[in-house]
Each structure stands twice: as C-alpha cells, then as structure tokens.
Structure 1
Amino acid sequence: MQMQALVVTADQWLSSLFGKASTEIGMEAQIIGDAELALNEVSRSKYDTVVLDFDTVSEPSQVLGVVRSSRSNRSAVIFAVATDNAHKKTASQYGANFLLHRPIDIAQVRRGLAAAKGFMLGERRRYFRCAVELVVLLARSDSERVQCTSMNISSSGMGIKTATALTPGERLNASCMLPGGVNFGAIVRVIWDDRHGKSGLHFDSVPPDLQSKLETWLDSQFYAERISTPLRQRT
C-alpha cells in the first residue's frame, strides 16, 4: 500500500513542492487548505506524514493536537512550516518532528522527506499484515485438531478462515509452514471469532528462533512490495 501524506496549507507553492517531492519517493499527497477539513480527514484516514503550515492555516495547533492524540495517526511524522518564533515554539511544544521556515525550496523538502522515510517505513513494517493463504493446524486443549487457512499474518498474530467455531480467550497450539519451507509454531490465543468462519489469533508465545525467522520472512515480503512500486524520476 502506498504511503500517504496530508499537506495542510493555503499556499499553492508549498503544496506543489510537497506534492512533487512526495511523488518522487512513491508517496501520495492529499492537499487540504482548511483546518476544519483537515480535522475531518485526520479522524477518518491514516497518514504516514502530516505537513502543517502554521503561516497560512488557522488553528494549526488544533490539527497537530488531534493528530498526536489520534490512535491511527499519533505516530505520523509531522512537518511544521513556521516562520515566526511564536509558531515555531508552538509547533515544537505539540511534537512536530521537523521544523521548516520560509523561504522553502524543493531541495529542503526532499531532504526532509528523505530523512523521515526510514521512520515512516519502520512504522509501516511494525503494523504490516501479509496477505497469504497457508494451511494452519490448531490443537485444542482436549487434543482436538482443527485444520484452517490463514488470511494474513503479522509479527504478533494471524487471521484465519475455519469451519470450526473458536472461543475468544481460548488458547491453542498453532503450526504452519511459511513459504520457503520454515516450520512455524506458536501458542496462540483467540482474540475474536465472527461465527461466520473467520477468527483472529494472537501469538502468546513463540520460540525466539521462530520469531526471528517470521520477522525475516515478513521483512522480505514488506520490502518486496515497496520495491515493486516504481519511483518517479526527478525533473
């Protein structure tokens, strides 16, 4: 999934700079010129980075506060464009990661996004769920065996499809073979079951060597997806 940037500014020049630089690194930029619209956007969508122009947008600190308190956006990288000292102080107090001031050119924006990209990718990787269908075997405490199919897998759990109803809170032994021939096993806990053939499992206990192998495989899948998205040529 493409990384997302929210640019909140009434300055067309600034929006064009961030739009161009974002596209160059494979990021999609949403441009909004009004704080109220930005608040609505932050409440319903997830962004990897938010650019707030303190010089041209009213109540930017309110937007920044909502971003930092939002469950889905609190870890977003914040760029604050603040030219006067009062705005700079406010932006810093509210947790802006990068401070820029006018005059701004494309080189500054490129450097800022390049510096932030590693952190943004790290956050994406942390919550990455790889869509994959694997045969998963579950063993219940009464020794009943349940065969099911994974829908996705992450560092901390997996979603499965199963014809057998599972009970939230139930603990089971789970095993499967990851692509590449790695036998994976964990003690899992049922987080949810929709009673329509889908359940969510949390990995309660995984041997360290298997957790490491899982992380390595997830890394390969995560970064393969990013490599497959071509970057735009600079002009």
Structure 2
Amino acid sequence: MSQPLALEFVLVSGDYATMQAVSKAVKKFGAKFVLVPSAHEARECLNRRKIDGVFVDMEVPGALGLIESTRKGASNNKAVIFACLVNAKESTQILALGANFLLRKPVTEDGVAMHITISKELLLREQRRYFRHPVNLPVTLKAGEAEQQARMTNLSGGGMAVRTVKPLKQGAVLDFTFELSLGARISARGQVAWVNSEGMAGIILQTVRGKGNEQLEAWLASREQLRP
C-alpha cells in the first residue's frame, strides 16, 4: 500500500519559542506547517482546508473557544488537537472541550516530536479516511423539494466535492445518490461544508443508507491499492 500524503499541521500562536519548537519538530516528519497568530485566523484556515493536527497555544485569546468550535465544526472535527498550556489547572477543561494531548510550556522540539510520534497512528488513520480520490461521476442532489444533477470531482470516506449548476447553501443538509465504478449505488445524507464562487461545494458524509458504507469502504480500499 502506498504512503499517505504528508501530514499538515496548524500552529495557533504568537510566541516565537513555541513556533520554533513546533516548526522544527513537524519538519522532522516531513509534514507541512502553517502558522496563524489568532483564533479568528485559525478558524478561517480550518474552514478552508483539511488539517491533520492543530497545536493551540492556550495563551492566545479565544483558545478554548477555538478548540470547542473545531470539535463542533464540519471540516476538521476529527483533527488531533495539541494544547500548549502554562497552567496545569486548565487541563481538565481543555481535555473536556476536545484536546487530545497537553504540552506544558515552554514546549521543546523533542517534546513536540514525541507527541506527534504517539499520535501518528491516529493522524494517519484519519488522513487515509479523508484522502480525496479524484473521480468524475454524476450525482443527484436533493435539498427539500429541490433536486439537481451535479458532477462529483473527488470522493473520500468523509465526503466529496461536487460541481453544481445551481449554487448550494453552506450548512444545508441534503440527500444524494451516485453510482460507483463497481456498480454499487450509494444513497446518503450529508451537509454542505463549503462553497465557492466557481460552483464547487464540499459535502460532509453524515449517514449512508443500506449497505452503502460497506460498498464505499470496498471502493476506497481498491482505490488505495492503485495509488502510486
């Protein structure tokens, strides 16, 4: 089986020492790294792209709210969250809101690398589930009484990207059906996670009807074997 794509991490911090430690540790794993200085910019980043892991400096204003909103969001609610904290008294609350790991500040390169190693199986499993396989398949979308034919451009275990004629509304819940190359017909429900001005939309899978889950898993496994 081929190796998955490079992991991608976001660090939310304005602290130079934390940035240095996380940046150096992440590069040891050949991973991509994005630095954002505020909780607001982090939310925008997490809404736009799929991220494998998020390092949150708890001294950043709004850090607790960011962890909570990430867990409740559509795009990255399964991302591994590493909370970097000064005060251990906050630990219980931070974990309750959804952080996976706690790192005491000042964080070190070795400490960050150790936590990435510990979480790597979790990171890779989730990434494999969300790897977007390029496709070109017709899909029928239905939101309430409105139905339209669209074109699916990629598909993963977590969702799909589609090109539509009529724009979809972000946050809308819709039903959809499509047929995979193995002849399996998938009927499912999902939520629109993002839309853009070019008629593209990302849909998160919520429920798959009947034997659709097994058929989708089989299709994904067969595509996984074909990856270069």
The DSSP-based 3-state class of the residue aligned with 1:185 is: coil
- Residue 127 of structure 1 pairs with residue 102 of structure 2: no
2:66 alignment partner, one of 56, 63, 66: 63
RMSD between superposed Cα atoms in Å: 3.9
The aligned residue for residue 107 of structure 2 is 104
**TM-score, normalised with respect to structure 1:** 0.62
Alpha-carbon deviation of 1:7? 0.3
Distance in 1 (CA, whole Å) between partners of 2:159 and 2:40 is 37
Distance in structure 2 (CA, Å) of the matches to 1:6 and 1:188:
34
Contact 1:5/1:47 (8 A) holds in 2: yes
Say whether the 8 Å CA contact 1:22–1:29 is kept in structure 2.
Answer: yes
Q: Verify the 8 A CA contact 2:12 2:55 in the aligned structure 1.
A: yes
1:9-51 per-position Cα deviation (integer Å, ceiling 9, x unaligned):
1221211121122222232111122233223333333321111
Aligned mates of 1:102, 1:25 — CA distance in 2: 22
| Helix, strand or coil at the partner of 2:66 | helix
Task: Choose which of 5, 20, 24 in structure 2 pairs with 1:20.
Answer: 24
Match of 1:115 in 2: 118
Cα distance in 2, alignment partners of residues 101 and 12 from structure 1: 16
Which amino acid letter does the alignment assign opposite residue 69 of structure 2?
V
- What SS does the corresponding residue of 2:115 show, helix, strand or coil? helix
Q: Is the 8 A contact 2:186 2:212 kept in 1?
A: no
- 3-state secondary structure, aligned to 2:184: strand
Aligned length: 188
CA contact (8 A) 2:70 2:76 kept: yes
Selected match of 2:225 from 217, 220, 229: 220
Equivalent in 29, 41, 45 of residue 45 of structure 2: 41
Query: In 2 relative to 1, CA 109–131 (structure 1 residues): closer, same or farther, beyond 3 Å?
Result: same
Are the equivalent residues in 2 in contact too, given 1:5–1:29 (CA < 8 A)?
yes
Contact 1:186-1:203 at 8 Å conserved across structures: no
CA 1:157–1:42: 2 relative to 1, 3 Å: closer
Distance 1:190 1:29 in 2: 34
Query: Which residue of the other structure, out of 8, 15, 33, is the alignment partner of 2:12?
Result: 8
Percent of aligned positions that are identical: 24
CA distance in 2: counterparts of 1:59 and 1:159, whole angstroms: 31
Query: How far 1:2 sits from its partner (Å)?
Result: 4.0
Which one-letter code corresponds to 1:185 in the other structure?
G
**CA separation of 1:131 and 1:15: change in aligned 2, threshold 3 A:** same
Report which of the two structures shows the higher radius of gyration computed on alpha carbons: 1
Residue aligned with 1:47, SS:
coil
Letter matched to residue 19 of structure 2? S
Equivalent in the alignment of 1:195: none
- Kept in 1, the 8 Å contact 2:71–2:77? The answer is yes
CA distance in 1, matches of 2:40, 2:176: 44
Q: Could you tell me which residue of structure 2 aligns to residue 78 of structure 1?
A: 81
* Residue 79 of structure 1, CA deviation: 0.2
Name stretches of at least 5 consecutive residues in structure 1 with no aligned partner: 137-148, 162-167, 177-183, 192-199, 226-235
8 Å contact 2:43–2:66 — kept in the other structure? yes
